[in-house]
């Protein structure tokens, strides 16, 4: 049920990927997304698939666990690919009805878009699955520290992110609980048309908002009680430090990007 949402969840395991510095993983994710949206041709696709496969294997996160996260974006993928399929003009037209048409470019675009979205979710969820929210925001804060000079409140942003991430599982659990409590009172969240379903959300959303505000107030109070006053002069218990495996990982990721770019220029086929 609702517990199965895996986006933003951490999966504990003992793998080289879990031990990696979060900055490396952030960097790798950015590079991966760039590679994913600028590759051309079958060789590039094969390279990315291979890279993704290898990283998933190394991470020791069960593949089944990752695919659960995909369910959430099924609708998005279908809509995108349907639009691509029917609304792209191309050289060879297979079928035409009004402004709708199926063309060769349309089919290729639809397939590519589906692959890109699925890979995007798999790759990025791999980062959150192998990095605890704390590590992640810690990495982000350190990586973005130079922006402080331009008056960007990096610490506040990182703190907000870590609180938001921390609250995802709590709110999911809360939703699950309230949903069950209302179901015990005969509420029906599954059947009915759109309007009925939207109406059925009220008994869920009102208590959820009430409790979210209450939690936020409690948290703010608890932070102030412990003298939290922003990032100024704040030190870390575990400062991030690069180790040799992090340097190796950087090298591998850059090598991967170079390979994808070369592949795109040498074998830009079939697109």
Strand partners, 93: 103
Nearest residue (CB) to other proteins, 4 versus 243: 4
Nearest residue (CB) to other proteins, 176 versus 243: 176
Closest separation in Å from C-beta 203 to other proteins: 5
Nearest residue (CB) to other proteins, 166 versus 177: 177
Nearest residue (CB) to other proteins, 80 versus 132: 132
Closest separation in Å from C-beta 46 to other proteins: 30
Closest separation in Å from C-beta 53 to other proteins: 20
Closest separation in Å from C-beta 207 to other proteins: 5
Nearest residue (CB) to other proteins, 108 versus 183: 183
Nearest residue (CB) to other proteins, 65 versus 167: 65
Q: Enumerate binding residues for other proteins (CB under 8 A).
A: 3, 11-13, 62, 64-65, 177-178, 180-188, 202-203, 206-207, 210-211
Of 18, 4, 7, 260, the closest CA to residue 131 belongs to 18
Closest separation in Å from C-beta 204 to other proteins: 8
Closest separation in Å from C-beta 69 to other proteins: 12
HEC string for the chain: CHHHCCCCCCCCCCCHHHHCCHHHHHHHHHHHHHHHHHCCHHHHHHHHHHHHHHHHHHHCCCHHHHHHHHHHHHHHHHHHHHHHHHHCCCCCEEEEECCEEEEHHHHHHHHHHHHHHHHHHHHHHHHHHHCCHHHHHHHHHHHHHHHHHHCCCHHHHHHHHHHHHHHHHHHHHHHHHHHHHHHHCCCCCCCCCHHHHHHHCHHHHHHHHHHHHHHHHHHHHHHHHCCCCCCCCCCCCCCCCCCHHHHHHHHHHHHHHHHHHHHHHHCCCCC
């Amino acid at each position: 049920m609702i517990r199965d949402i895996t986006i933003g969840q951490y999966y504990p395991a003992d793998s080289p990927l879990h031990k990696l510095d979060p900055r490396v993983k952030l960097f790798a994710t950015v590079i991966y997304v760039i590679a994913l949206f600028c590759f051309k041709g079958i060789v590039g696709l094969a390279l990315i698939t291979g890279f993704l496969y290898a990283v998933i294997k190394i991470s020791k996160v069960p593949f089944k666990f990752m695919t659960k996260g995909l369910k959430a974006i099924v609708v998005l993928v279908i809509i995108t690919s349907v639009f691509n399929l029917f609304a792209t003009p191309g050289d060879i037209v297979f079928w035409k009805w009004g402004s709708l048409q199926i063309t060769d470019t349309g089919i290729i675009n639809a397939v590519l878009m589906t692959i890109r979205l699925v890979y995007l979710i798999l790759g990025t969820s791999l980062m959150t699955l192998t990095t605890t929210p704390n590590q992640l925001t810690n990495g982000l804060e350190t990586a973005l520290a130079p922006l402080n000079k331009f008056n960007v409140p990096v610490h506040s942003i990182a703190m907000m992110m870590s609180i938001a991430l921390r609250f995802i599982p709590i709110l999911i659990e809360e939703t699950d609980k309230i949903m069950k409590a209302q179901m015990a009172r005969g509420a029906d969240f599954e059947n009915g048309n759109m309007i009925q379903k939207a109406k059925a959300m009220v008994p869920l959303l009102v208590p959820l908002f009430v409790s979210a505000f209450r939690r936020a107030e409690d948290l703010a109070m608890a932070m102030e009680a412990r003298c939290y006053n922003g990032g100024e002069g704040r030190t870390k218990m575990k400062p991030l430090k690069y180790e040799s495996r992090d340097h190796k990982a950087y090298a591998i990721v850059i090598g991967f990007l170079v390979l994808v770019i070369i592949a795109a220029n040498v074998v830009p086929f079939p697109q």
